[in-house]
Chain A
């Protein structure tokens, strides 16, 4: 692309849907950074005010305004990579900068440079390799979304067709949207991106809303530290996600689709580009995708390094080329989504669950859970555990069974001290919780946490939980978008108190300030980031009081 003039590039994207992010990436790839002339050309072409454009570029971690900024290696400095020595790797690579958890916690430390991803533990040992497949489940465990993922060639169209692909969609096309929604309703499927909203209800709301075109957005931003399940699905079973999106389009009457993929998954990007190209070529997508005259198109868009863009309304703003603050709700995306059109935003795992449910039936899906719990959940397991990776567990499975029996327990000679829930957003559970809790929302919520997107990071007894909490809060402080006061100020103040760099450093006063800030954040923040972040400090105080330090002062936490 290096020969293309700014006008050519802008002209190429100008008429396209959601043109801003691809244009910014194209300029960054052409010039090694984003030059002011590029912003001027984009501003004119897309009619976005310069000040706004500049501000947006400064928001995204992976867009850079410094000459050759794109050249600097970004080393994952997420909580799991810190356990593996990311700080040493950062020091060893010249010009390296830290990046937030980049979703490869079941591999050595990921390093991103000029849009290429390598993994390794040492500067000399960085290599390119495909992302790990999920480990096989224990004997007798039945899976839904991972059932076919380990089949050879599953990621190819031929392989997908040969292993039962498109049977869910075929069933739906034979039946009708009502039957589809009915089956999904009965399956009890809820959103797997964190909020757990019933999928059928969301799709019905989009179907019933006024507006055209209707839009399906696959949320593949997967920014929560310790979560890498969507990566596994997209890398090894991409057609299942496409099929899920087609089912969503059929159910809602949508004709426009997007996959919003995080920037830190470059191989996935290449793979999805090829998959979408093939799908359009083969007529799986396109003007007659859902029958004669029933169009469905999917556009692939990359984020640029911002956890908040996984929040569905910030994601929509990002797609639309607006500052990626979350929107005020209501109205919700189901009525006012992408460009104010009715929009279903769904997580990758949610979408991939739909085809098997439609094909096998609601009863079958419900029956995959333990006891009264229906269905399965992908869990990304990482940290101090022998077999990290993605596991599809029946909802209601005892957490201890997953940790000890499925994943081999802690490293030799160690004891599990704590785990996180919902990546980092659910805070920490301690050994007693681990012995008692089952993997389903009622059980986890009863302990003041939540399952969320299903990331679990394990800390053995060699770790300091105060350090773990500090790492977690530094993530939230870096990712707070800055729209609302409680989170913008609160994440920073909590981080300072965990680091001991400002405010009271110990004692009852420390606990009092931390709890007051936490309450304000949890009760008044505008989105889930600020509401969840104080679970980190709350669970630290409640469960790991020794680590907090007040006990040594003889103060009373309550």
Chain B
């Protein structure tokens, strides 16, 4: 018996943290145990059973994602037996869906199952039989495609919505092979508590959930490129990867390693990026002419006009006649400057920030 937290993984000693699972420790050590229901942000679920490994002294293979390591445990992740079981199991999983390839654009994890099939050298064809999930083409919300024909009932969508987003919009209807993913009372996402954060889309391992916004550009042939940046909408500062094809912004993806968001976004950051290349987008300041119509102006003109309006108002109606609201998109420094300006200008405390709502 050692006194340290050490166990044996495929013949090599490895340290582990208290409470760590075999799957996590292996991942840390660079051993990618196959999985389909695993998402590092979620509680281990133990549904897909692709992650089975053999533990000395236990007759049946165990699910490595739910099995916590104990000292001196001897784990083998690639015995002929577990490899055979995983392959057959994956063949069973492939058999429950129609043979249909979908674009990897649909979501961050959309190719996960197909990639795993390639990695394990598994092809379709065995275990013919009924298919399981039923797509919901009637849900015509603008953001999320519900193509459940491709669903494998891993419940990552349901769990991410509950555990990460806290919206509890999704449920598992029925049981067994008849199981279906539903929203609210089994109607459209828009009739449920869904906020269209897109988390479910990004965790789905088959493309059964698709980002309809990015899918509009599937036919553009340029290779997608990603650029890491910060979402421009609010002060939280979620990290995003902008997806471009040529000079077209086609989509936004949450950054799983974003320090502020760890893969989460809200509906605006996830889906509302059309303004960037929109024809109606403002490119210069606008000021009203004599007739009251908005006309393009230079920044100097516009700022002069604003300063005049503010000072005239204070002179005429007193210091409480003006009110400053900082944009939620402004960084702290700009918000600070804004309140300073208002206090110096009017001497009143009529100051707010739109993120407060």
Contacts and interface: CB of A to CB of B under 8 A. Distances in A.
B81 to A, nearest CB: 8
Interface centre among B44, B129, B162, B179 (most CB of A within 10 A): B129
B58 to A, nearest CB: 12
6 contacts: A54-B171, A323-B172, A485-B152, A489-B92, A489-B95, A517-B127
Contacts of B177: 477, 480, 482, 488-489, 491-492
Contacts of A51: 168-171, 182-185, 192-193
Nearest to A513: B127
Contacts of B36: 485
A493 B127 contact: yes
- B45, B93, B174, B185: most-surrounded residue (chain A CB, <10 A): B185
A56 B173 CA distance: 7
Contacts of B302: none
A502 B128 contact: yes
Interface stretch (A120-128, A344-352, A521-529): A521-529
A323 B173 CA distance: 10
B61 A479 contact: no
B288 interface: no
Contacts of B49: 484-486, 524-526
B127 A488 contact: no
Contacts of A176: none
A56 B66 CA distance: 24
B169 A490 contact: no
Contacts of A58: 173-174, 182, 186
A397 interface: no
A55 B92 contact: no
Contacts of A496: 129-130
A39 B182 CA distance: 16
A50 interface: yes
A484 B88 contact: no
A488 B153 contact: yes
B47 interface: yes
Nearest to A52: B171
Interface string B29-49: 000000010000000111111
Given A52-B162, A54-B184, 13 more contacts: A51-B168, A54-B182, A328-B45, A330-B68, A482-B178, A485-B92, A485-B153, A492-B177, A513-B126, A523-B81, A524-B49, A524-B89, A526-B46
Nearest to B152: A485
B249 interface: no
Contacts of B123: none
Interface residues of B, number: 50
Nearest to B192: A51
Classify the interface of chain A: helix, strand, loop or mixed.
helix
Contacts of B169: 51
B60 A523 contact: yes
B281 interface: no
B200 to A, nearest CB: 12
B105 interface: no
Contacts of B128: 502-503
Contacts of A520: 85, 88-89, 92
Interface in A119-166: none
Interface string B47-79: 111101000000011010010100000000000
A493 B92 contact: yes
Contacts of B127: 489, 493, 503, 513, 517
A323 B158 CA distance: 12
A523 B81 CA distance: 10
B125 to A, nearest CB: 11
Given A496-B130, A517-B127, A520-B92, A488 B179 contact: yes
A50 B194 CA distance: 12
B175 interface: yes
Given A492-B130, A503-B127, A516-B88, A482 B174 contact: yes
A36 B184 CA distance: 11
A340 interface: no
A485 B48 contact: yes
B129 to A, nearest CB: 4
Nearest to A50: B184
Interface residues of A, number: 45
A196 interface: no
Q: Which 5 A-B pairs have the closest CB atoms?
A: A55-B171, A49-B168, A480-B176, A51-B171, A502-B129
A406 interface: no
A45 to B, nearest CB: 16
Interface in A473-517: 477-486, 488-493, 496, 501-503, 513, 516-517
B309 to A, nearest CB: 49
Contacts of A485: 36, 47-50, 89, 92-93, 152-153
B211 interface: no
A433 interface: no
A332 interface: no
Given A477-B176, A485-B48, A49 B130 contact: no
A223 to B, nearest CB: 13
B24 interface: no
Interface in B94-147: 95-96, 126-130, 132
Contacts of B89: 485-486, 520, 524
Contacts of A482: 153, 172, 174-179
Given A493-B129, A502-B130, A50 B173 contact: no
Contacts of B46: 328, 483-484, 526
Given A49-B162, A502-B128, A517-B127, A486 B176 contact: no
A519 interface: yes
A439 B184 CA distance: 50
Interface in A408-455: none
Contact of A526 (B47, B85, B95, B172): B47
A13 interface: no
A483 B179 CA distance: 9
A427 to B, nearest CB: 18
A470 to B, nearest CB: 15
Nearest to A512: B126
Contact of A55 (B66, B88, B173): B173
Interface in A203-260: none
A171 interface: no
A477 B129 CA distance: 14
A50 B182 contact: no
Nearest to A59: B175
A492 B184 contact: no
A492 B177 CA distance: 7
A54 B179 CA distance: 13
Interface string B180-196: 00111110000011000
A56 B129 CA distance: 27
A520 B174 CA distance: 24
- Chain A CB within 10 Å — which of B66, B92, B126, B184 has the most? B92
B184 A59 contact: no
A238 to B, nearest CB: 31
A306 B176 CA distance: 12
Contacts of B61: 523-524
A308 B176 CA distance: 11
Contact of A489 (B66, B93, B185): B93
Interface string A385-412: 0000000000000000000000000000
A482 B60 CA distance: 21
A382 to B, nearest CB: 25
Interface in A265-306: 306
A50 to B, nearest CB: 6
Nearest to A43: B168
A524 B184 contact: no
